[in-house]
Amino acid sequence: MPGFRLAAAGDLHCRAEQVGRFRELVRAVNGEAEGLVLAGDLTDHGTLEEAMRLAEALAELTVPCAAVLGNHDYEGGVVKDLVRVLAEAKVQVLDGDHALFLKRVGIAGVKGFCGGFERGMLQAFGEPAIKAFVQEGVNEALKLEAALAQLDVDIRVALLHYAPIVGTCHGEPPELLPYLGSSRLGIACDAFGASAVLHGHAHHGTPDGRTPGGAPVYNVALPVLKKHGERKFRIVEL
């Protein structure tokens, strides 16, 4: 079976005056890819106006599109409205569920959460506030597991905002690492057979890594793509 050309980008941080910038991205994706995924922080301050401007551009896509939200998208407190506006532009916003692209590629999506990596991963011990913080990360990992388990296709892509491994966060200040993602997400990807993992959030990270089980991980945050010579998206061959 021929490969699948998936375009990916994260951390668009769309502002109300920037719609033209993303129309260029859409035109390029239409000409070069078979699908587009967006790895969170679609808006800069989580406002409805920002989402509407981005949706205007994304409505011109001729390929399927799936997205997850990021922490910035929650800032304005209008998440349901953001999801509705993007859905009207035929963008499927995932939160523990999945999308199918051309019946060949499955996209399992969650925002994810922080909590740290490997031996530095925070555990649910002590004060109730710490336990609640850790539980949020556990819940996101469980949602990712469920979404991946629902996919009955050979190519399974995990789409996240927060990072699933520390490797693609290298370059960030060490004190920020616990807030950039969690190894719990990477464990879920390995346990349920992710073919590839895409995330954003780590603006100063590195573009490539692997889960402990060997699945390729791509940091597609726009600042990372620009730093390493990519355009406004990355093509991942699946």
Domain residue extents for the chain: 5-237
Question: Mind giving me the DSSP string for 59-126?
Answer: TT-SS-EEEE--GGGGTTS-HHHHHHHHHHTTEEE-SSEEEEETTTEEEEE------B-GGG---S-S
What pLDDT was estimated at residue 228?
87
Does 172 or 19 have the greater pLDDT score?
172
Residue 217 and residue 188 in contact, taking contact as beta carbons nearer than 8 Å: no
Element (H, E) at 101: strand 97-101
pLDDT category of residue 236 using cuts at 50, 70 and 90 = very high
Average pLDDT of the residues of the chain? 96
Does 18 or 151 have the greater pLDDT score?
151
What pLDDT was estimated at residue 104?
93
What pLDDT was estimated at residue 201?
98
Q: What is the mean pLDDT of residues 175-186?
A: 97
Say what percent of the chain tops pLDDT 70: 98
Q: What is the mean pLDDT of residues 218-232?
A: 91
User: Reduced to 3 states, what is the DSSP secondary structure of residue 116?
Assistant: strand
Q: What is the mean pLDDT of residues 94-114?
A: 97
What pLDDT was estimated at residue 193?
96
pLDDT tens digit sequence for 19-77: 678 998 999 999 999 999 999 999 999 999 999 999 999 999 999 999 999 999 999 99
What pLDDT was estimated at residue 20?
76
pLDDT category of residue 231 using cuts at 50, 70 and 90 = confident
pTM for this entry: 0.96
Q: What is the mean pLDDT of residues 169-178?
A: 96
CATH fold of 5-237 reads Purple Acid Phosphatase; chain A, domain 2 (3.60.21)
pLDDT tens digit sequence for 110-139: 999 999 999 999 999 999 999 999 999 999
What pLDDT was estimated at residue 1?
56
Close Cβ partners of 41 (under 8 Å, ≥ 6 residues apart): 10, 11, 12, 13, 70, 71, 72, 73, 161, 200, 201
